[in-house]
A and B are shown apart, each in its own frame.
Chain A
Amino acid sequence: DGGITQSPKYLFRKEGQNVTLSCEQNLNHDAMYWYRQDPGQGLRLIYYSQIVNDFQKGDIAEGYSVSREKKESFPLTVTSAQKNPTAFYLCASSDSGQGNYGYTFGSGTRLTVV
């Protein structure tokens, strides 16, 4: 079955560490996205990518970095510059950034700073 796989499901980070969250899709979707969700808040866009080797900052990109070297993969690195990284991170993909398409989400990664 096609879908999006995020790993790990839970991640603990020490202060000052960089961590990388994995996102892989086999839906053959061109566009991929990273969102962050905090308790009681809506999803906020971190980065998005329309095609391979291209990505753009979203609304809250500071302290994060991404790469898109393969169509299937869009990893997110949470750097030590992100001051409040504890959150639920969601990766999504869509068939196209054009038109009336919804997103398919992965099951998410819960990141906690210890």
Chain B
Amino acid sequence: RKEVEQDPGPFNVPEGATVAFNCTYSNSASQSFFWYRQDCRKEPKLLMSVYSSGNEDGRFTAQLNRASQYISLLIRDSKLSDSATYLCVVNRRNTGFQKLVFGTGTRLLVSP
């Protein structure tokens, strides 16, 4: 079983739609959670951290369910520029040192 699992998609949505991505992780000791965005043939860029109480950044909302080991990302009012691959990321703590484990990503395509 992969440490971080995501639906690869692609999710095809029209502009203005609301879309949600889910992610599950296997290491119950994980403490840090993130969503990264990766454009085609580019490096990943941090989109947002995910906090236990849930957090919002503009059109983006992230939720964490520790009991179910589940993370979600909601994008409202989708823009063409949101087309990218979204990576779910959790930490792996090894003797106090944090190493991030990346999911394979969920691809989003927003069409006019």
Contact = CB atoms under 8 A, between A and B. Distances in A.
A100 B87 contact: no
What band does the interface of chain B fall in when counting residues whose beta carbon is under 8 Å from A?
A: 20 to 34
A43 B3 CA distance: 12
Describe A's contact surface by its main secondary structure.
loop
B44 A105 contact: yes
A48 B99 CA distance: 9
B96 interface: yes
B1 interface: no
Contact of B43 (A94, A97, A99, A105): A105
A42 B43 contact: no
Contacts of B8: 40
Contacts of A35: 102
B22 to A, nearest CB: 16
B59 to A, nearest CB: 20
16 contacts: A42-B2, A42-B105, A43-B44, A88-B41, A90-B43, A97-B98, A98-B96, A98-B97, A99-B32, A101-B32, A101-B98, A102-B46, A102-B49, A104-B46, A105-B45, A107-B43
Interface of B: 2, 4, 8, 31-32, 34, 36, 41-46, 49, 87, 89, 91, 96-105
